[in-house]
Chain A
Amino acid sequence: MSHAIAKWIFWVGTLVSLGLFLALTVDTRGQFAALTHADKLDDHVVAGKRAFQARNCNDCHTILGFGAYYAPDLTRVVARMGEDSIRRRLEHPEVAFADSYRKMPQQHLGQQEIEDIVAYLRWVGNIDNHDWPPQDSPNRWKRSTERVMAGAALSPAAALVQQENCLSCHTLGGSGESKGPRFEWIGARRDAAYIARYLADPEKVAPGAQMPSFESLSQEQREMIGEFIVSLAAQGR
């Protein structure tokens, strides 16, 4: 190869790649508004982003998969664990994670700051990012739960969940609200006995939890619900 050809390789290689990259950047910028729902990107959300940065959350957590790997990814955290659960963890991490082997700092966030961060996380959770991360993929939750529910729809536990209106706060499969954690995710972490105890007195198990007590149910019923929730995860994947 001659010196001249080497120089050609340099210039052609560089300019072709640069040209392509800049052209696609222009196009991508045009599409961001739709893909990220920029119409919902209000000052509240931006304040949340500023707080998220000021508190350096991203050097423990990933978000959109970027950042540190020390703590759970926050891209779809609202869909996974619900807004009220997030509020409690931000307010009192030292209580929420008292039993955990890994801690999150108590940074004394203000009430407004917490609301802003929740708004930010909600907005991020709706970015259309080709269904990443896999562990929080709504499609995968839906599919696995449909499989379970096909057999369990008429079970007494499922009926109780219906009757007690748990899904006005929790998500299950494709339905429900995101105030508390999605049931499949609870089932993956907890056993039936824990859930039964929790239903009897949430405040005792998780001080500050925004979840009503279900003392009115019998111990048997609570355990049944517990087994039902655990079954969602066990067969889930």
Chain B
Amino acid sequence: MTYKSQSIAYPYFVLALLLFALQVLMGLWLASNYFTTVPQSVVNVFPFATARAMHTNLLVLWLLLGFMGATFYLVPEETGTELAWPKMAIAQLALLAATGVTALVGFFFGWTKGRPLLEIPFPLNLLIVVGALMFLANVAVTMFRAKRWTAVQGSLLGGLVFLALMYLFGVPFYRNAAEDWYYWWWVIHLWVEGAWELITAALTAFVLIKLTGVDRKVVEKWLYVELGLFLFTGIAGTGHHYYWLGAPKYWLWVGGVFSALEPFPILLMLVDTWRDVRHRSQPVRPRLTWVYLVGMVILHFIGAGLFGFAHTLPQINYYTHGSQVTLSHGHLAFFGAYVLMNLTFFYFAIPRIKGYPDGTYDERTGHLGFWLMSLGVVGMGLGFGVAGVLQTYLERIQGQPYMLAQQPIRFWMLVVALHGLLVLVGALLAIRHLLTLKPARPGQA
């Protein structure tokens, strides 16, 4: 770490990690609702719906806090200046944390907008917009003052502004349900297959430059190509959500063709990373950071690219839409791409914030955390996948009523929960490891 204000990232990371633990716990509760029978008295007070809102909002909240922290770490180093307003960054964290906690408590008492993933009610939306503006102003002013533009900075800022703009489409109440979902996807899809990909590509490029020592020119050239392909396929690819909501038929073509190409930029990111790792001029140290980085690009491709492609063509999506197949892809993609992106960055940045030489640290228990968590999520993804294929066949093709078709699925949700336990243990290990990181033992580094 060269700039003092980079350390503002640390409290963001800490809060993000704590929320991550809560999110995973909530996931286990959700899965248990599938294979057990929750008594009516409990359902009346704490229904699945409330827990789900918490699970997903915790996810989005901690990933965004992680991205913001990562941005605060990256920007001073890229611009070669201190952050414009370090104190405002702290105030912003306090505001967003308070808003998030209020939202979660509010869900428990039934204060919700009731739109999946975007449940946070209107007054809190406004606070989030204020927080986002504070964030963007801080970052943009730092960059514009420094005037040392790099492709990494540009794509990061572009991705963040894109992200914030899209959020606005989720704020109003829509009278027409079809229109409502149409714009709901401007938030959800254009986030995960647009803005967040830009941010991830920029953060990955930054980490690659620093870790491998490969020439920035090479990395940034491929960054442009990645971004171009992400946006080319991702924007019109939004159409893969417009097949069955009451939109015109041409979306079956547009959505199908463009989204079928979406795996390519993800594959390119995998190939680019692989090339940079092979051409490294620096030793693979600390090993765990590299494991996270490579694990991320591989699982990103599998979860988003392959599992996304599997159900993106309308002929298949007609039968799998809104089934547990979606859930399988949702978990693998979010984990592979954005959970691992965040954790990679945390492992990259925290030792540097703490000033350990060469960014090394004591890696013990960290590896175990990674493998338990990753194998657990892959197992969960496969469990959801089997449940989804069963649901598709029994309900959508055979025509069994939903609750009948759910019977065999309950077993697979138990399988999911057992793997979820691995995820929980792995995540807790990783979180504890990150929060109590120690310098490398003598002889290890």
Contacts and interface: CB of A to CB of B under 8 A. Distances in A.
Nearest to A55: B114
B228 A60 contact: no
Interface string B396-411: 1111111110100010
B68 interface: no
A234 B217 CA distance: 66
Contacts of B142: none
Nearest to B238: A21
Interface in B27-61: 33-34, 37-40, 43-44, 47-50, 52-53
Contact of A134 (B52, B177, B231, B396): B396
Contacts of B251: 24, 28
Contact of A94 (B40, B220, B221, B397): B40
A129 B245 contact: yes
Interface string B245-268: 111111110100010000000000
Interface residues on A, range: 35 or more
B3 interface: no
Interface in B367-397: 391, 395-397
A82 interface: no
B399 A6 contact: no
B173 interface: yes
A103 B404 contact: no
Given A70-B33, A124-B177, A59 B48 contact: yes
Interface stretch (A44-52, A154-162, A214-222): A44-52
A6 B229 CA distance: 11
Interface stretch (A33-41, A110-118, A164-172, A197-205): A33-41
A230 B115 CA distance: 38
Contacts of B85: none
Interface stretch (B18-26, B323-331, B353-361, B420-428): B323-331
Contact of A103 (B38, B242, B396, B410): B38
Contacts of A31: 247-248
A41 B33 CA distance: 35
A185 B401 contact: yes
B178 to A, nearest CB: 5
Interface residues of B, number: 81
B231 A64 contact: no
Interface in A60-98: 60, 62-73, 94, 98
Nearest to B243: A130
B400 A66 contact: no
B227 interface: yes
Nearest to B405: A135
A18 B231 contact: yes
B246 A106 contact: no
B409 to A, nearest CB: 10
Contacts of B38: 103
A65 B244 contact: yes
Contact of A46 (B53, B175, B178): B175
A32 B178 contact: yes
Judged by DSSP, the binding face of A is helix
Nearest to A188: B401
Nearest to A184: B399
A32 B176 contact: yes
A20 interface: yes
Contacts of A132: 243-244, 318, 321
A1 B225 contact: yes
B214 to A, nearest CB: 15
B114 to A, nearest CB: 3
B48 A68 contact: yes
A163 interface: no
Contacts of A20: 236, 254
A3 B216 CA distance: 12
B225 A68 contact: no
Given A28-B182, A104-B43, A132-B243, A72 B403 contact: yes
B119, B179, B236, B399: which has the most chain A beta carbons within 10 Å? B399
B110, B231, B319: which has the most chain A beta carbons within 10 Å? B231
A133 interface: yes
B309 interface: no
Given A24-B250, A28-B247, A10 B228 contact: yes
Given A68-B48, A134-B319, A188-B404, A59 B175 contact: no
B184 interface: yes
B79 interface: no
A54 B53 CA distance: 13
A204 to B, nearest CB: 21
Contacts of B47: 56, 60, 105
A211 interface: no
B235, B242, B323, B396: which has the most chain A beta carbons within 10 Å? B235
A9 B398 contact: no
A100 B396 contact: no
Contact of A9 (B34, B110, B116, B224): B224
B31 to A, nearest CB: 11
A102 B227 contact: no
A3, A20, A67, A103: which has the most chain B beta carbons within 10 Å? A103
19 contacts: A10-B224, A13-B228, A14-B227, A24-B251, A28-B182, A31-B247, A32-B176, A36-B179, A49-B177, A53-B113, A59-B50, A60-B52, A69-B327, A129-B246, A130-B249, A132-B321, A135-B395, A135-B399, A188-B404
Given A21-B235, A129-B246, 4 more contacts: A17-B235, A24-B236, A31-B248, A140-B399
Interface of B: 33-34, 37-40, 43-44, 47-50, 52-53, 110, 112-116, 119, 173, 175-179, 181-182, 184, 217, 220-222, 224-225, 227-229, 231-236, 238-239, 242-252, 254, 258, 318-319, 321-324, 326-327, 391, 395-404, 406, 410
Sorted nearest first, the 8 A-B pairs with minimum C-beta distance are A53-B114, A65-B322, A13-B232, A59-B49, A132-B244, A13-B228, A10-B228, A6-B224
